[in-house]
Amino acid sequence: MKKNAPVKKNDIVTVEFEDLTHDGSGVAKVDGYPLFVPFALPGEKAKVRVIKVNKGYGFGRLEEILEQSPDRVDYPCSLHKECGGAQLLHLSYEGQLRAKEKQVRDALERIGGLKGVKVHPVMGMENPWQYRNKVQVPVGFQNGRTVAGYYKKRSHEIVDMTNCGVELSMDDSIVLKIRDILVDNGITPYDEKEHKGTIRHIVVRWAKATGEIMVVLVTRTRTLPNQEELVKDIVKAIPNVKSIVHNINVKRTNVILGDRSLTLWGKSTITDMIGEIKFAISPRSFYQVNPVQTKVLYDQALQYAQLTGEETVIDAYCGIGTISLFLAQQAKKVYGVEIVEDAVRDARENAKLNNITNAEFVAGPAETVMLDWQNEGIKADVIVVDPPRKGCEESLLNTILAMKPKRVVYVSCNPGTLARDLRILEDGGYKTVEVQPVDMFPQTTHIESVACLELE
């Protein structure tokens, strides 16, 4: 017979925290029963109010810290507890890096059963603030005025954007300028309950290497009122703007961009660089949001690929060709495959932009295209994968095992799915040599990793 939870709702309990969850909550135990408490840190003793009780675990709210962690810091954001975007602002940056290394190590051991794999200390940032090159915020109407910012945690109430420690500081001011320009031109914010109003989101993209800025206005309507005046006002207010785009999203959806984009002014793309490689970025391009750490991440992938200029490389999930073109600098030939056709078009254009002729891109499911290549006699020496958070499709992992490249370089944004997939590759004859975590998202719980595998 299962025993009942040792706590009930609204109990105040004194606990000691021993760990962090993957979403940054502190973990404490009451008679072996886990309590998850936001904003608590390992090593702290605190009074906690129990706010929810499930069979196997509960949730609490921090009432009073009795013994504080030496890693606790004052955070520079008045909206930290409301917004939920940067879950670790209250943890020192050194503490964040240690916690992320532990997150990767724990996932490999617990989920993948991979003991003794060398996990290096996390490659962090010298300045872990205001690093994002893209901001996308909803626009709404609250308390009699137009607001543009972030949703409050677990709600659809928008917190007006003032100053964010994570976004680039220029993005804050640009968003607020655009918000005011929209108001001045009588453009109404979107009401998601009624599915009325015009402007849904403001998206700003910034190219660090060139300083070029793209502004994307996402509307529910197919037309944009006062379009000419609006464009004039934006160009006047934002000196570095090189592209103003109108994106149309008529659906009732929480997906930000619609299928149709019209360039209202300037170019349809902006240009950025990672190392020596140029990239043309469109409104829909997937492009890493931390330009400084992107180079660190890709340099690590390149190092693990161990290219001499004689290798054939396959880049699965190649996107707009970011990693492929990096690899092409040192490989004999790179084949990139990506299921999104627009991304493949962008990848081909980016290859042309850089005069890279030894990279070829195909649209389709990676596992199918790779089997076709194998049947054509293409033999990969190295396969690089950079999948979404859900990890690789099992069919793709089976294709890798069938192709038997000497090395696999796995770029991951989710330690859990990385551990699961490494287990499958290890069972198929590969050895995980080492894993290098890279902090692409300081102040949040997210961590990227690059794993190097060799065929045994």
Tell me the C-alpha distance between 290 and 142, whole Å: 31
Tell me the C-alpha distance between 305 and 315, whole Å: 11
List the end-to-end C-alpha distance of the chain, in Å, as a whole number. Answer: 48
Tell me the C-alpha distance between 261 and 253, whole Å: 17
Instruction: Output the six-digit token pair for 42.
Output: 């390992």
Tell me the C-alpha distance between 167 and 169, whole Å: 6
Instruction: Output the six-digit token pair for 238.
Output: 């934002």
Query: Tokens 């943890």 identify what position?
Result: 91
Long-range pairs for 339-342 at CB < 8 Å and ≥24 separation? 339/363, 339/364, 339/365, 339/366, 342/282, 342/284
How many CB atoms are located within 10 Å of the residue 209 CB? 14
Instruction: Output the six-digit token pair for 17.
Output: 């925290």
Degrees, nearest 5: CA angle 62-100-66: 25
* DSSP β-bridge partners for residue 411: 450
Tell me the C-alpha distance between 90 and 95, whole Å: 10
Tell me the C-alpha distance between 38 and 208, whole Å: 34
Q: What is the CA radius of gyration of the chain?
A: 24
Instruction: Output the six-digit token pair for 19.
Output: 């760990």
What string of DSSP letters covers 46-83? Answer: EEEEEEEE-SS-EEEEEEEEEE--TTB---S-TTHHHH
CB 432 within 8 A of CB 408: no
413: annotated active-site residue: yes
Q: Which of 77, 83, 164, 413 is catalytic?
A: 413
Query: Tokens 């299962």 identify what position?
Result: 2
Tell me the C-alpha distance between 294 and 142, whole Å: 37
Instruction: Output the six-digit token pair for 434.
Output: 């080492």
Active site residues: 413
